[in-house]
Amino acid sequence: MSYKRKKIIRALKEYGFEFLREGSNHSIYTNNKIKIPVGRHKEIDRDTARLIAKEIGIEWTTFKNIIS
């Protein structure tokens, strides 16, 4: 299963993250404490989405409901 990149970015913004910069293969989002890289693919796989949820400190089930 994969999730739309657009929805993951929208969820990050809801949790107070904002766009910081473009890396070579990722867009970097920050909340001024941590930086989260988001790959530039239309679809982000489940494992990567889970890792993003873990890094920002949100339960996977909650994050999954937001990005589904």
DSSP per position, 28-44? EEE-SS-EEEEESSSEE
Domains for the chain: give ranges and CATH numbers. 2-67 (3.30.920.30)
Give the DSSP H or E segment for 47. helix 46-56
Give the DSSP H or E segment for 18. strand 18-22
Give the model's pLDDT for residue 48.
96
Quick one: tokens of 26? Answer: 């990722």
* pLDDT > 90? residue 1: no
Alpha-carbon gap, residue 32 to 7, rounded angstroms: 21
pTM for the whole structure: 0.91
Give the model's pLDDT for residue 68.
92
In tens, the pLDDT along 8-39 reads: 999 999 999 999 999 999 999 999 999 999 99
pLDDT band at 53 (very low <50, low <70, confident <90, very high): very high
- 8 A C-beta contact, residue 67 and residue 58: no
